[in-house]
Amino acid sequence: MTSPKNQSKKLHLSPSILHRYLMDHTEQTLGYTGGDVKAWQRKLRRKLRELLGMNQMPAERADLNVRSLWKRDHKYGAIEKIAFTSESHSDVTAYVCLPQNVEPPYTFFICLQGHSTGAHNSIAVNRDDNSRPIRVAGDRDFGIGCMKRGIAALCIEQRSFGERREQMQVMRSNTPCDEAAMHALMFGRTLMGERVYDVDRGIDYLATRSDVNMKQVGVMGNSGGGTISVFSAAVLPRIALAMPSCYFCTFRDSIMSIHHCVDNYVPSLLRYAEMSDVMGLFAPKPVVIVAGKDDEIFPVAAVRRSFRRLKAIYKAAGAENNCRLVVGPKGHRFYAELAWSKMLRQIKRP
């Protein structure tokens, strides 16, 4: 007679057993397998927009209603804090950073912080008192890094982070995005799609300015900012340059391997594509992938495997040299010198 202990060993009780089985036996039906890159991109991009809930965003865009909150000089240029309306009842705060000694029109990068205290890190000031400077670790002072290199920046506060954190209702989760991410699902949206929409509205704002080179608008960010950099590049045609940091990997080895914030998950996505396919929607435009050698949540071995697949898509698109990978010597952070040394070669100056 089989003992109760032996019987329990034969039972598949942990949910991850099934999900790992599904990963092993699910073919991504819209993954790139060769052939016409543009035709493949049209199919996957249409499906990706649907999965992100982009079709549920407003059909008619709200007036941006841009407001200037403050302006000040900086040793690398000038910074203005603004607010604009993304959609009804959802405003965005952002920092506009203009480099000194550079003639417009400017190359602009939209800069995105991840799970942190907010976009204020991009200009190295205190969140609640922007007059107080702070030290920012891991080269995450993206706006300042842009100005140093003669690049302008629009540093957006993402939904659920920093000044746009939940402040109206009681939070039960330990992560700032869970409630907003799950609430968005109830409307056929995703928080990721809402954040991508905010990037698109940021580009709408840039289009109102006379000092922007609209052919040279980039997107960059680390961790959760890298996430939105990848998905924005994939579905927003006005983005010309991308520099996602510490996110690009495989879904299997990153968000499907350990606990991640709910905002990382897109319903049904693994049925259609892996992360290399998502980033491949950006081909042939220049992308610099940034990773950390010791990043424990986006492991570098899987980053390299995914990058090889991405490189194959770029090669098929006739743009192999527009796809670069840099690996920093430490963990989950940005590596400004390594990344910008590659990206600056891709930027076309007026």
- Specify the pLDDT at position 248: 98
Residue 330 C-alpha from the chain's centroid: 21
Q: Could you tell me what percent of the chain has a pLDDT over 90?
A: 92
- Specify the pLDDT at position 4: 57
Strands lying side by side in the sheet with 212-222: 67-74, 77-87, 90-99, 152-156, 106-112, 212-222, 241-245, 287-292, 323-328
Strand partners, 84: 92
Does pLDDT of 3 surpass 70?
Answer: no
First and final C-alpha spacing in the chain: 81
Does pLDDT of 7 surpass 70?
Answer: no
Per-residue pLDDT tens for 169-197?
A: 887 777 789 999 999 999 999 999 999 99
- Specify the pLDDT at position 8: 56
Residues contacting 247, CB < 8 A, separation 6+ = 222, 223, 224, 226, 227, 229, 230, 254, 298
- Specify the pLDDT at position 46: 98
Q: Hey, how many other C-beta atoms are within 10 angstroms of the C-beta on 65? A: 9
DSSP code per residue over 122-160 = GGTB-SS-TTSB---STT--HHHHHHHTT-EEEEEPPTT
CA distance 168 to 211: 37
Peptide bond into 329 cis (omega under 30): no
Provide the mean pLDDT of the chain: 95
Sketch out the chain's domains with CATH numbers. Answer: 24-343 (3.40.50.1820)
CB 184 within 8 A of CB 190: yes
Residue 20 token pair: 């790992």
Q: What is the pTM of this model?
A: 0.96
The confidence band for 220, taking pLDDT boundaries of 50, 70 and 90, is very high
Crossing angle of helices 191-207 and 224-235, in 10° steps, is 70
- Specify the pLDDT at position 2: 53
Residue type, 216: Q
Region 108-128: what's the mean pLDDT? 97
CA distance 25 to 172: 35
